[in-house]
Amino acid sequence: MYFWDKKTECMSLDELRELQGERLKNTVRFAYDNVPFYRRKLDAAGVNPEDIKSIDDITKLPFTTKEDFRDNYPFGMFAVPLEQVVRIHASSGTTGKQTVVGYTENDIGVWSEAMARTLSAGGTTKGDIVQNAYGYGLFTGGLGAHYGAEKIGASVVPISGGNTKRQLQIMQDFGCTVLCCTPSYAVLLGESAAEQGIDTSKLPLKAGFFGAEPWSENMRREIEEKLHIDALDIYGLSEVMGPGVSYECMEKAGLHVSEDHFYPEIIDPETGERQPDGYKGELVFTSLTKEALPLIRYRTRDVTYLFSDNCGCGRVFRRMHRVLGRTDDMLIIRGVNVFPSQIESILMEIDGTEPHYLIVVDREKGRMDQLEVWVEVSPKMVSDEVRKLEAIERAIVAELESLLGISLKIRLVEPKTIARSEGKAKRVIDRRDLNQ
Amino acid sequence: MRVNQISVFLENKSGRLSDVTRTLADNNINIRALSIADTIDYGLLRLIVNDPDLATQVLTDNGFTVARTEVLAVEIPDRPGGLAGVIDILAAKNLNIEYMYAFVGRSGDHAIVVFRIEPVEDAITVLQEGGMRILRGEELHSL
């Protein structure tokens, strides 16, 4: 079994709980004193930082949501002045506004540590060459994996996403041993390697760390067969930190949460009531060491369950099952968060489009996720000329791609062909087979 | 002088064209000319029928999206160079043809070609000055 920091990852449960309690007290006090939003929230809930004495007191605290980020856009959730913030990332919000997160130098250190644990758990050492095909940019995937690999002392190839041919060339020429990317991109790389006649069993590539989108055990098998590697699931979200919040060990049986930094809970999404380990519900995180953006009981909207039976690797950290679904309608497409409400707001702004649309997400074998938006044509859009329809299509595509940051296809369909349902319209068809 | 053309939006899936022709047949509407402009996913069916108002109504009632456009039906001498002569007249005046297609029937010993040209007023003037005869809607439908 591989470890980055065995002493911490395998501390006793009592030590861990003690540490979590101590850190929770500090986090709540720090957030209360430095973020007006948290002060108001705790005051309204009648909770004083003094009331937090151990980790069990966490249930006294109110929840934080994605809407809170929107309401405090862009920097209202920060607990330190910008002079101390060394990095800013952002991800999609439910509407036009991005969810903005910030990091102090120390936060970047913790994040790197968490990613170093993640990569080490799959056997990455300083002797490895890490091909990092996560996108670099506002998305946390690229830089998160990058800093973790550097922390270990591995040689990082910051190739970023896309350009499959070059990826395979560099993979062979450099002798990359570790791959980081989304699972659907790993499948694509495997398929492309086969098409090009590359014998992946002869390559030094040994492990891959895949996350930022939902996947399945079937996909794991497919990736492992195609690339001849161990495929490990990693989890994270920018609000909590980025990739590395939880990670699989070589047992490949759930993701260990770095509980000394990120405290997980499962709640009933309807009542907000805490669920015991083993029960499915919404995953909630509290940061225990973050400075720039302390996070108190953040509702991730991801559905999973936690379990604490001893893992064969010996880590004390509880595991979460791979994410089973969402409590909202957010889609994750090629690592990018997409809310149907974002697409709807754009369509409403374009003259002549009908409010009837359907989002179709598909993952054909060996290809990346495809996003199609079906739009019913209206009498206003139709004329005797195809180029006018094509111009409307192009305008919609340009607006949506600019907002979402991913490529997509518009399909114009005949009126009344998108199913109307009673009450809430069905806006999304997700054909990806993710729960096996 | 101008003829009403109706355009119907159709997804590229089997049976849709027959849905249109069947709807028109059931309402005793005669198709006099048609053309299709298509892309990978959809097409626009352009029709000249004997009763454009009724056609628009019955197609709309049956869930189709219909647009109306004015086009010109021009008599063309039915011999080599007949079409070239008309197009030369338009080209000389820098008038662009958006699209054109042939009419099924004939007018005496002339063929008939449907033109979509913008601006339509200029096209009428230029064609008439060039000695071309443009058919009226009623004339066309009675052929």
Predicted confidence (pLDDT) at residue A434 exceeds the cutoff of 70? no
Over residues A290-309, the pLDDT tens digits come to 999 999 999 999 999 999 98
Residues of chain B neighbouring A413 (CB-CB closer than 8 A): 11, 42
Residues of chain B neighbouring A414 (CB-CB closer than 8 A): 9-11, 16, 63-65
Distance CA A213, CA A226 (A): 19
Question: What's the whole-number average pLDDT of chain A?
Answer: 93
Tell me which chain A residue has its CA closest to the CA of residue B7.
A384
Residue of B3, B14, B41, B70 to mutate for A, most A C-beta atoms under 10 A: B41
Instruction: Identify which of A382, A390, A415 has the shortest CB distance to residue B7.
Output: A382
Whole-number pLDDT of residue A156: 98
Tokens of A69: 């980020």
Which residues neighbour A160 within 8 Å (Cβ) at sequence distance 6 or greater?
A: A132, A133, A134, A135, A136, A142
Distance CA A409, CA A314 (A): 47
Neighbours of A213 (CB within 10 A): 23
Q: Is A333-430 in the same CATH topology as A6-328?
A: no
B94-127 residues labelled b (16+ CB within 10 A) or e (exposed):
ebeeebbbebeeebeebbbbbbbbeebeebbebb
For the segment A266-282, the average pLDDT, to the nearest whole number, is 96
Burial (CB < 10 A; 0-12, 13-18, 19+), residue A398, is: exposed
For the segment A193-214, the average pLDDT, to the nearest whole number, is 95
Tokens of B53: 């108002």
Taking CB atoms and an 8 Å limit, are A383 and B38 in contact across chains?
no
Residues of chain B neighbouring A389 (CB-CB closer than 8 A): 9, 39, 42, 44
Taking CB atoms and an 8 Å limit, are A417 and B11 in contact across chains?
yes
Q: CA of B60, closest CA in chain A: separation in Å?
A: 10
Beta strands in A383-422 (DSSP E): 409-413
Instruction: Identify which of B10, B16, B67 has the shortest CB distance to residue A384.
Output: B67
Residue of B3, B5, B9 to mutate for A, most A C-beta atoms under 10 A: B9
pLDDT bin (cut points 50, 70, 90) of residue A58 is very high
Alpha carbons within 13 A on the beta-carbon side of A395: 16
| Residue A237 β-bridge partners | A242
- The architecture in CATH of the region A6-328 reads 3-Layer(aba) Sandwich (3.40)
Calculate ∠ Cα B36-B38-B43, nearest 5°: 75
The DSSP H or E segment spanning B87 is helix B82-92
DSSP for residue B44: E
Residues of chain B neighbouring A412 (CB-CB closer than 8 A): 9, 11, 41-42
DSSP for residue A64: B
The DSSP H or E segment spanning B9 is strand B3-11
Pick the residue with more confidence: A377 or A316?
A316
Whole-number pLDDT of residue A436: 47
Over residues A342-377, the pLDDT tens digits come to 888 888 877 666 668 899 999 876 678 899 999 988
Pick the residue with more confidence: A341 or A233?
A233
Distance CA A297, CA A289 (A): 14
Structural contact between residues A209 and A133, judged by C-beta atoms closer than 8 angstroms? no
Structural contact between residues A85 and A67, judged by C-beta atoms closer than 8 angstroms? no
| Residue A103 β-bridge partners | A87
Whole-number pLDDT of residue A366: 65
Residue of A414, A416, A418 to mutate for B, most B C-beta atoms under 10 A: A414
How much is the CA Rg of chain A, to the nearest whole Å?
22
For the segment B69-92, the average pLDDT, to the nearest whole number, is 93
* CA trace torsion A332, A334, A337, A339 (10° rounding): -70
Whole-number pLDDT of residue A348: 80
Over residues A215-230, the pLDDT tens digits come to 888 889 999 999 999 9
Residues of chain A neighbouring B5 (CB-CB closer than 8 A): 384
Whole-number pLDDT of residue A350: 77
Distance CA A382, CA A391 (A): 11
Q: Return the SS3 of A32.
A: helix
Q: Return the SS3 of A363.
A: coil
Instruction: Identify which of A382, A390, A411 has the shortest CB distance to residue B9.
Output: A382
Class of domain A333-430: alpha beta
The answer to whether B10 contacts chain A (CB < 8 Å) is: yes
Structural contact between residues A245 and A285, judged by C-beta atoms closer than 8 angstroms? yes
Dihedral pair phi/psi, residue A147, rounded to 5°? -65, -35
Q: Return the SS3 of B133.
A: coil
Instruction: Identify which of A385, A412, A415 has the shortest CB distance to residue B42.
Output: A412
Over residues B57-69, the pLDDT tens digits come to 999 999 899 999 9
Over residues B82-134, the pLDDT tens digits come to 999 999 999 999 999 999 999 877 778 899 999 999 889 999 999 999 999 99
Whole-number pLDDT of residue A92: 78
Structural contact between residues A233 and A258, judged by C-beta atoms closer than 8 angstroms? no
Q: CA-CA distances (angstroms) from residue A98 to A136, A157, A361?
A: 17, 29, 22
Taking CB atoms and an 8 Å limit, are B65 and A411 in contact across chains?
no
Predicted confidence (pLDDT) at residue A145 exceeds the cutoff of 60? yes
Taking CB atoms and an 8 Å limit, are A383 and B69 in contact across chains?
yes
Predicted confidence (pLDDT) at residue A213 exceeds the cutoff of 60? yes
Q: CA of B64, closest CA in chain A: separation in Å?
A: 7
DSSP for residue A135: P
A101-105, A425-429, B28-32: range with lowest mean pLDDT: A425-429
Give the count of Cβ contacts less than 8 A between chain A and B: 56
Structural contact between residues A382 and A389, judged by C-beta atoms closer than 8 angstroms? yes
* Residue entry with tokens 């402009």: B37
Domains of chain B from N-terminus onward: 3-69 (3.30.2130.10), 70-142 (3.30.2130.10)
Pick the residue with more confidence: A426 or A286?
A286
DSSP string, A261-324: TEEEEEE-TTT--EE-TT--EEEEEEESS-SSS--SSEEEEEEE-EE-SPPTT---S-EEPPP-
Residue ranges per structural domain of chain A: 6-328, 333-430
Instruction: Identify which of A378, A384, A390 has the shortest CB distance to residue B7.
Output: A384
- By a Cβ cutoff of 8 Å, what residues of chain A touch chain B? 377-379, 381-386, 389-390, 411-417
Taking CB atoms and an 8 Å limit, are B116 and A384 in contact across chains?
yes
ipTM given for this complex: 0.84
Predicted confidence (pLDDT) at residue A94 exceeds the cutoff of 70? no
Instruction: Identify which of B10, B41, B46 has the shortest CB distance to residue A384.
Output: B46
Q: CA-CA distances (angstroms) from residue A416 to A65, A118, A378, A400, B4?
A: 36, 49, 10, 23, 26
Q: CA of B30, closest CA in chain A: separation in Å?
A: 20
